[in-house]
Amino acid sequence: MVWRVQFFGIVLVLRHRMSIVCWQLLRSTRPPASSEAELEELATRAGQPGAAGAVEAEVRRLQRARMALHRCARLCTLHFGPALLLAVLGDLVAIPCLTYSWLNISSSSRSSVKLGLTCLWLAVVLCRHLVVCWVCSSAADRAVRADLVMSRMQPMLHPGAVVEVLRLSVDTLRFSAMGFFDINLHLFMSTVSTAVAYLTILGEFHTYRSV
Domain boundaries, the chain: 2-210
- Give dist(CA 182, CA 184) in Å, integer: 6
Residue 137 confidence class, pLDDT cut points 50, 70, 90: very high
Among 7-16, 51-60, 73-82, which stretch is predicted with the lowest mean pLDDT? Answer: 51-60
Q: Taking all residues of the chain, what is their mean pLDDT, rounded to a whole number?
A: 81
Phi-psi region of 51 (alpha: psi -120 to 50; beta: other; left: phi over 0): beta
Residue 108 confidence class, pLDDT cut points 50, 70, 90: low
Question: Does the pLDDT of residue 138 top 90, yes or no?
Answer: yes
- Give dist(CA 29, CA 21) in Å, integer: 13
Average pLDDT over residues 75-96: 87
Residue 49 confidence class, pLDDT cut points 50, 70, 90: low
pTM of the model: 0.79
